[in-house]
């Protein structure tokens, strides 16, 4: 019974580590994107704005990135 408990704890440990790493990567990526948007706004002398077309492109890019991440472990 004790071995089963250790297996469950180890399973939860790697899951927590993966979630923490994913969250950290997401935060850093979001901050980087915001920084670049601010730089572009300062260069143009206008408040930051995204057009509908830019929003769609960004959404598709993020969707494609997430799709690629899910395919990483497949080995196909």
Q: How confident is the model at residue 52 (pLDDT cuts 50, 70, 90)?
A: very high
Q: How confident is the model at residue 53 (pLDDT cuts 50, 70, 90)?
A: very high
What's the pLDDT score for residue 9? Answer: 66
Helix count and strand count (H, E) for the chain: 2, 0
Distance of CA 42 to the CA centre of its chain: 26
13 within some domain: yes
Total domain count, the chain = 1
Considering the entire predicted model, what is its pTM?
Answer: 0.64
76 within some domain: no
Closest CA relative to residue 60, chosen from 52, 48, 72: 52
Domain region containing 22: 2-71
pLDDT greater at residue 24 or residue 16: 24
49 within some domain: yes
30 within some domain: yes
Q: How confident is the model at residue 69 (pLDDT cuts 50, 70, 90)?
A: confident
């Amino acid at each position: 019974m004790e071995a089963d408990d250790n297996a469950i704890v180890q399973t939860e440990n790697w899951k927590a580590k993966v979630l923490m790493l994913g969250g950290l990567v997401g935060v850093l990526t979001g901050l980087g994107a915001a920084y670049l948007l601010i730089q572009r706004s300062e260069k143009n002398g206008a408040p930051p704005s995204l057009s509908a077309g830019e929003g769609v492109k960004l959404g598709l890019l993020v969707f494609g990135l997430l799709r690629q991440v899910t395919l990483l472990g497949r080995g196909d």
